[in-house]
A and B are shown apart, each in its own frame.
Chain A
C-alpha cells in the first residue's frame, strides 16, 4: 500500500468537513474520489497535501511513513506527492517556463529537472510554443496542462488532481486525460477528484464515493458504474 488514509477528520473553523474518511491506494494505481459539490473531495486532497490541518486521531501513512509529520512543502519535496489544486492556481505573473522552474525549487538534480521539463514539453507541445508567455494569458486547457506539468516536476511519486476536467471542452479534456494515462504509465500513482463521475470512473480503476464528508461506497470503477445508487445520484439516471 502506497498511501493509506484512516479516520481523516477535518474542521473548518468549528464545522466538521470530514468525518473520519478512509481509503488507500497502491503504487501505480489510478484511483478516483467522486461526489457532489461540497461532499469533501477537495478537502480530502488538501488534508493529504497538508495544506489544511487534519484533526487529532487522523492517520495518513505514505510508503510506511507518517505523512502528518511533514509540512506542506516537504510533502512535495521529500515525499514526492504533488497536488494540482482546484482552479489550477498558476502564477499568472510568471511565464510558462518560470512556472515549471519554480516547481523544481527544492530539487538539486539539475540535469534531471531539465529532462523533466523536456518531457513535459513532449507531453504537452502546446506549452513549448508558449514557453515565454505569462501563464495568466493561457487558455483554460493550456493552463490545465501547465498545472499538471508543474506537478509532474515538483513530485510525481503520487499526483493529487483536483477536477482536472473543470472548464475544458470535451476534446481538450480527452487530451489531458490521455496525457495523465501516459504519466501514470511512467510510474506516477494518481489520486483524482472529480465531479464528472462518468469521466473519472472511465479513467480510474477504482473509486470511492464521498457524501457529506464520509466515504459511503467504494469499489472497482466497473462496479460503481453499474451501481444503481451511483447511477441515480452521479451519472444522470
Chain B
C-alpha cells in the first residue's frame, strides 16, 4: 500500500506536466482544428525562458539589488515566463498558422513540425549544445507521511498545476473570451458574424496554451533541473497523445488524460522492467482509443468548414 501511494505521488507529478502541455494542444485543436506540433518545443522554450528569468532574478538577488526570498523568485519566474512565452505562442500563430488557416490541414501540421525544428535549432545557435542548469530556487525537503516520502517540490508542482487548470476552467466558463473560445470550437466559420474578431481569439488560444506549457517547463526545471533543446519532443508527443485521448477541445478530458498517462507510465514501470514502460503504457492507450475513438469527452462531430 505504501508502495502504491509512493508511486501515486510520482504519477501525479508526471501527470501534471503532461496535463499542462496537453491543455495547450487540446485548446488549439478544439478551437482552430489544427495540431500545433510545435507545442512541445514551446514547452522547451518556456523552460529556457524560465531558466533565463530565474537566473537573472537570482543574480539580482545575490547582488543585493532585489531583496526577495527564493520562493518569491520562483513565483515571479513562473509569472514572467508565462507572460513572455505567451508571446512566443502568438508569434507562432501569426507567422506560422494564420497564413495557412484555410489551407489543407496537412500543410498546417507540417508547419508545426517545421516551427518545432526552428525553435530547437534556434536554441542551439543561441545557447550552444551544452545543457543548462535550472537554478535551485527551493531547497528540497522530504516529508515522511505514513511511510510515503513526499518532497516539497512534488507537492508544489501538483498544487500549482491544479491551480492553473482551475484558473483556465474558470476563464473558459465565465469570461466572454472563454465563451467565444467554446463557441469557436463548435463552429468557427460563423464566429465573425457575432462580431467576434477571429484573429483575436486564435491569438489568445495560442497565448494561453503557451503560457501553460511555460509553467510546465519551469515546474519540470524545478524537479529535473537539466534542460536541453530537445527536451520538448518526447513531452510534446506524449502530451499530444493525452490531448487526443481526452477528446477534441475538452479541457477536463486533456487534464484527466494527462494524469492518466502519468499514472499508466509510473504503474507500468512499477510492475514491469522499465525498458518496457513506454511499450506497455502506450499499448494500453491504443486499446483505450480503439474502444473510444473520440477520446473520453470528445463527441463525434461533422466539421463544417464553410458557411
Residues of A within 8 A of B (CB): 46, 49-52, 71-73, 76-77, 82-83, 85-86, 89, 91-94, 98-99, 101-107, 150, 154-155
Contacts and interface: CB of A to CB of B under 8 A. Distances in A.
A93 B307 CA distance: 18
B276 interface: no
Contacts of B183: 91, 93-94, 98-99, 102
Interface of B: 176, 179-180, 182-183, 185-187, 189-198, 304, 307
A52 B176 contact: no
B186 A106 contact: no
Contacts of B196: 73, 102, 105-106
Contact of B198 (A73, A94, A154): A73
B194 A150 contact: yes
B195 A107 contact: yes
Given A51-B192, A94-B179, 11 more contacts: A49-B193, A50-B192, A52-B307, A72-B192, A77-B195, A89-B187, A91-B183, A91-B186, A103-B195, A105-B195, A155-B195
Given A73-B198, A85-B307, A101-B176, A94 B186 contact: yes
A105 B181 CA distance: 12
A166 to B, nearest CB: 15
Nearest to A92: B186
13 contacts: A51-B307, A52-B307, A73-B195, A89-B304, A91-B182, A93-B182, A93-B186, A94-B186, A98-B183, A102-B194, A105-B196, A150-B194, A155-B195
Contacts of A94: 179, 182-183, 186
Contact of B193 (A52, A82, A101): A82
- Top 6 closest A-B pairs, CB basis? A72-B192, A77-B195, A106-B195, A76-B195, A91-B183, A73-B192
Contacts of B304: 89
Nearest to A151: B193
A105 B176 contact: yes
B32 to A, nearest CB: 16
